[in-house]
Amino acid sequence: MGSVRYKYSDRYKSYINLLATWIWEKITVKGDIPPYGRYGHSADRYLNSIVIFGGEKNYNTILKIRECVSDVRIFIPGNYFFLYLLKNLVRH
């Protein structure tokens, strides 16, 4: 966990920045891979994983909306594994 500086991903690709070299490296993620990229989320380290909550999807130009999500995902940097913990918590 200490060697990973930052992770960037969208629906099609994922990258991490290795703290020791500051070089972006393309990775292959496994598990419950999110179907879309997001931003404006909360993320925090818990044990040897990163807990990700909420955020927003990209702006939908057809519907002219930006959808918020309130799910919880866990990313384990050691093996590039995503776990889908909780579905959207807000009911529409």
Q: What is the pLDDT of residues 34-66, one digit of tens each?
A: 878 888 889 888 998 989 998 898 888 998 988
Quick one: tokens of 89?
Answer: 């918590």
d(CA 11, CA 37): 5
Q: Give the contacts of 4 (CB within 8 A, at least 6 positions apart).
A: 16, 17, 18, 19, 77
Residue 2 — very low, low, confident or very high, per pLDDT cuts 50/70/90?
Answer: very low
Q: What is the pLDDT of the chain when averaged over all its residues?
A: 78
Q: State residue 85's pLDDT score.
A: 86
Tokens 């290795």 belong to 18
Residue 6 has pLDDT above 70, yes or no: no
C-beta separation of 58 from 37 below 8 A: yes
Delimit the domains of the chain by residue range: 4-86
Quick one: tokens of 92?
Answer: 């529409």
